[in-house]
Amino acid sequence: MVAKPVKKLILFDLDSTLIDCEVIDEIAKLAGVEGEVKKITNDAMKGNLKFEDSLKQRVIFLKGLESEKIDFFVQKIPIMNGAKELILELKKIGYVTGVVSGGFTFAANEVKKILSLDYAYSNTLLSNDGRLTGEVIGPVMGESAKGDILEEIAKKENISLENTVVVGDGANDISMFEKAGFRIAFCAKEILKSKADVCIDKKDLREILDYLK
Protein backbone atom coordinates (compact mmCIF):
# COMPACT_ATOMS: atom_id res chain seq x y z
CA MET A 1 0.00 0.00 0.00
CA VAL A 2 1.39 3.41 -1.03
CA ALA A 3 1.65 5.89 1.85
CA LYS A 4 -0.51 8.98 1.51
CA PRO A 5 1.60 12.14 0.99
CA VAL A 6 1.88 14.33 4.08
CA LYS A 7 -0.24 17.46 3.77
CA LYS A 8 1.78 20.65 4.28
CA LEU A 9 1.09 24.36 4.66
CA ILE A 10 3.20 27.29 3.46
CA LEU A 11 2.48 30.92 4.37
CA PHE A 12 4.15 33.94 2.80
CA ASP A 13 4.55 37.54 3.78
CA LEU A 14 3.34 39.87 1.02
CA ASP A 15 5.52 42.98 0.74
CA SER A 16 8.99 42.33 -0.70
CA THR A 17 8.22 38.60 -0.60
CA LEU A 18 5.34 37.63 -2.91
CA ILE A 19 5.47 41.09 -4.50
CA ASP A 20 8.49 43.19 -5.40
CA CYS A 21 7.60 46.34 -3.47
CA GLU A 22 6.33 47.68 -0.14
CA VAL A 23 2.69 48.52 -0.86
CA ILE A 24 2.33 51.29 1.69
CA ASP A 25 5.43 53.03 0.33
CA GLU A 26 4.06 52.85 -3.22
CA ILE A 27 0.69 54.21 -2.10
CA ALA A 28 2.52 56.95 -0.20
CA LYS A 29 4.16 58.01 -3.48
CA LEU A 30 0.70 58.47 -4.97
CA ALA A 31 -0.27 60.59 -1.96
CA GLY A 32 2.93 62.64 -2.13
CA VAL A 33 4.15 61.54 1.32
CA GLU A 34 6.74 58.92 0.36
CA GLY A 35 9.58 60.24 2.53
CA GLU A 36 7.54 60.43 5.72
CA VAL A 37 6.06 56.95 5.30
CA LYS A 38 9.25 55.19 4.14
CA LYS A 39 11.16 56.24 7.25
CA ILE A 40 8.50 54.68 9.50
CA THR A 41 8.41 51.53 7.33
CA ASN A 42 12.17 51.05 7.68
CA ASP A 43 12.03 51.47 11.46
CA ALA A 44 9.22 48.90 11.70
CA MET A 45 10.97 46.34 9.48
CA LYS A 46 14.12 46.55 11.60
CA GLY A 47 12.10 46.03 14.76
CA ASN A 48 12.73 49.54 16.11
CA LEU A 49 9.01 50.37 16.24
CA LYS A 50 5.97 48.28 17.19
CA PHE A 51 4.22 47.24 14.00
CA GLU A 52 0.74 48.27 15.15
CA ASP A 53 1.98 51.75 16.02
CA SER A 54 3.95 52.09 12.80
CA LEU A 55 0.98 51.10 10.65
CA LYS A 56 -1.37 53.59 12.29
CA GLN A 57 1.25 56.35 11.97
CA ARG A 58 1.75 55.64 8.26
CA VAL A 59 -1.92 55.27 7.39
CA ILE A 60 -2.68 58.73 8.79
CA PHE A 61 -0.46 60.19 6.06
CA LEU A 62 -2.68 58.53 3.42
CA LYS A 63 -5.83 60.39 4.46
CA GLY A 64 -7.61 61.89 1.47
CA LEU A 65 -5.99 59.66 -1.17
CA GLU A 66 -8.48 58.76 -3.92
CA SER A 67 -9.51 55.08 -4.05
CA GLU A 68 -9.18 55.12 -7.86
CA LYS A 69 -5.42 55.71 -7.50
CA ILE A 70 -5.20 52.57 -5.38
CA ASP A 71 -7.17 50.65 -8.01
CA PHE A 72 -4.66 51.81 -10.64
CA PHE A 73 -1.76 50.55 -8.50
CA VAL A 74 -3.40 47.16 -7.92
CA GLN A 75 -3.74 46.60 -11.67
CA LYS A 76 0.04 46.88 -11.99
CA ILE A 77 1.10 45.17 -8.77
CA PRO A 78 4.60 43.71 -9.30
CA ILE A 79 4.63 39.98 -8.56
CA MET A 80 8.01 38.78 -7.25
CA ASN A 81 10.29 36.99 -9.70
CA GLY A 82 9.58 33.25 -9.58
CA ALA A 83 6.38 33.51 -7.50
CA LYS A 84 4.02 32.09 -10.12
CA GLU A 85 6.30 29.16 -10.89
CA LEU A 86 6.90 28.44 -7.21
CA ILE A 87 3.22 28.37 -6.27
CA LEU A 88 2.40 26.17 -9.26
CA GLU A 89 5.02 23.62 -8.18
CA LEU A 90 3.96 23.74 -4.54
CA LYS A 91 0.37 23.02 -5.50
CA LYS A 92 1.52 20.04 -7.56
CA ILE A 93 3.15 18.52 -4.50
CA GLY A 94 0.14 19.17 -2.28
CA TYR A 95 0.88 22.33 -0.33
CA VAL A 96 -1.90 24.51 1.10
CA THR A 97 -0.81 28.08 0.32
CA GLY A 98 -1.52 31.49 1.81
CA VAL A 99 -0.42 35.08 2.23
CA VAL A 100 -0.42 36.74 5.66
CA SER A 101 0.27 40.45 5.48
CA GLY A 102 0.53 43.44 7.76
CA GLY A 103 -0.36 45.34 4.58
CA PHE A 104 -3.74 45.79 2.98
CA THR A 105 -6.61 43.72 1.63
CA PHE A 106 -6.68 45.38 -1.80
CA ALA A 107 -3.15 44.06 -2.44
CA ALA A 108 -3.34 40.73 -0.60
CA ASN A 109 -6.62 39.73 -2.25
CA GLU A 110 -5.32 40.63 -5.71
CA VAL A 111 -2.20 38.52 -5.18
CA LYS A 112 -4.35 35.66 -3.84
CA LYS A 113 -6.31 35.81 -7.08
CA ILE A 114 -3.28 36.10 -9.39
CA LEU A 115 -1.41 33.21 -7.74
CA SER A 116 -4.50 31.09 -6.88
CA LEU A 117 -3.59 30.96 -3.19
CA ASP A 118 -5.87 29.25 -0.68
CA TYR A 119 -5.78 31.95 2.01
CA ALA A 120 -5.20 35.70 2.38
CA TYR A 121 -5.13 37.67 5.64
CA SER A 122 -4.38 41.39 5.88
CA ASN A 123 -5.54 44.80 7.15
CA THR A 124 -8.41 46.81 5.68
CA LEU A 125 -8.18 50.55 5.02
CA LEU A 126 -11.31 52.58 5.69
CA SER A 127 -12.58 54.82 2.91
CA ASN A 128 -15.46 57.28 2.61
CA ASP A 129 -16.81 58.95 -0.53
CA GLY A 130 -14.01 57.45 -2.61
CA ARG A 131 -11.15 58.63 -0.39
CA LEU A 132 -9.11 57.03 2.39
CA THR A 133 -9.95 58.24 5.89
CA GLY A 134 -6.49 57.55 7.33
CA GLU A 135 -7.80 54.68 9.48
CA VAL A 136 -7.66 50.88 9.57
CA ILE A 137 -10.88 48.89 10.06
CA GLY A 138 -10.94 46.60 13.10
CA PRO A 139 -7.95 45.24 15.01
CA VAL A 140 -4.59 45.78 13.34
CA MET A 141 -2.68 42.69 12.23
CA GLY A 142 -0.02 43.13 14.90
CA GLU A 143 3.15 41.47 16.09
CA SER A 144 1.59 38.20 17.28
CA ALA A 145 -1.07 37.95 14.56
CA LYS A 146 0.88 36.04 11.92
CA GLY A 147 1.80 33.30 14.37
CA ASP A 148 -1.82 33.04 15.51
CA ILE A 149 -3.03 32.80 11.91
CA LEU A 150 -0.48 30.08 11.14
CA GLU A 151 -1.88 28.03 14.02
CA GLU A 152 -5.47 28.78 12.98
CA ILE A 153 -5.01 27.63 9.37
CA ALA A 154 -2.95 24.58 10.38
CA LYS A 155 -5.70 23.50 12.77
CA LYS A 156 -8.42 24.09 10.16
CA GLU A 157 -6.50 22.07 7.55
CA ASN A 158 -5.53 19.37 10.08
CA ILE A 159 -1.82 19.98 9.49
CA SER A 160 0.72 19.69 12.32
CA LEU A 161 2.91 22.75 12.91
CA GLU A 162 5.99 20.66 12.13
CA ASN A 163 4.63 20.38 8.58
CA THR A 164 4.33 24.14 8.11
CA VAL A 165 6.69 26.45 6.22
CA VAL A 166 6.86 30.24 6.44
CA VAL A 167 8.57 32.76 4.17
CA GLY A 168 9.18 36.39 5.12
CA ASP A 169 11.60 39.28 5.24
CA GLY A 170 11.08 41.48 8.30
CA ALA A 171 10.40 41.85 12.01
CA ASN A 172 6.63 41.51 11.55
CA ASP A 173 7.19 37.88 10.47
CA ILE A 174 8.88 36.80 13.70
CA SER A 175 5.72 35.43 15.37
CA MET A 176 5.09 32.95 12.55
CA PHE A 177 8.80 32.07 12.38
CA GLU A 178 8.67 31.12 16.08
CA LYS A 179 5.85 28.61 15.49
CA ALA A 180 6.53 27.12 12.04
CA GLY A 181 8.30 23.85 11.33
CA PHE A 182 10.59 25.36 8.68
CA ARG A 183 11.49 29.03 8.26
CA ILE A 184 12.82 30.75 5.15
CA ALA A 185 14.16 34.31 5.25
CA PHE A 186 13.83 35.82 1.77
CA CYS A 187 16.03 38.85 1.03
CA ALA A 188 15.45 39.58 4.69
CA LYS A 189 16.46 42.00 7.40
CA GLU A 190 19.09 40.71 9.87
CA ILE A 191 16.55 40.53 12.70
CA LEU A 192 14.69 37.78 10.81
CA LYS A 193 17.71 35.99 9.31
CA SER A 194 18.82 35.05 12.81
CA LYS A 195 15.58 33.10 13.30
CA ALA A 196 15.57 31.30 9.93
CA ASP A 197 16.52 27.77 8.92
CA VAL A 198 17.41 29.00 5.44
CA CYS A 199 18.33 32.46 4.14
CA ILE A 200 17.85 33.23 0.45
CA ASP A 201 19.41 36.46 -0.79
CA LYS A 202 18.67 36.03 -4.50
CA LYS A 203 15.47 37.78 -5.62
CA ASP A 204 13.92 34.65 -7.11
CA LEU A 205 11.32 32.66 -5.19
CA ARG A 206 12.09 29.53 -7.22
CA GLU A 207 15.20 29.17 -5.04
CA ILE A 208 12.86 27.96 -2.30
CA LEU A 209 12.01 24.78 -4.19
CA ASP A 210 15.45 23.33 -3.50
CA TYR A 211 14.50 23.12 0.19
CA LEU A 212 10.92 21.88 -0.10
CA LYS A 213 11.00 18.90 -2.44
Report how far residue 213's alpha carbon sits from residue 195's, in angstroms, rounded to the nearest whole number: 22
Q: What percent of the chain is modeled with pLDDT above 70?
A: 98
Q: Is 15 a catalytic residue?
A: yes
* 49-68 b/e (C-beta count within 10 Å ≥ 16 → b): bbbbebbebbbebbeebeee
The residue from 15, 25, 169, 173 that is catalytic is 15
Query: In the 8-state DSSP scheme, what is residue 205?
Result: G
Q: What is the pTM of this model?
A: 0.93
Tell me whether residue 99 is in a domain. Answer: yes
Tell me whether residue 59 is in a domain. Answer: yes
The residue from 13, 25, 169, 173 that is catalytic is 13
- Residue 85, pLDDT score: 98
Tell me whether residue 106 is in a domain. Answer: yes
Overall number of domains in the chain: 1
pLDDT(4) > 70: no
- Residue 142, pLDDT score: 75
- Residue 50, pLDDT score: 85
Domain containing 17 — which CATH number? 3.40.50.1000
For residue 173, the enclosing domain spans: 8-212
Q: What is the pLDDT of residues 139-170, one digit of tens each?
A: 778 778 999 999 999 999 999 999 999 999 99
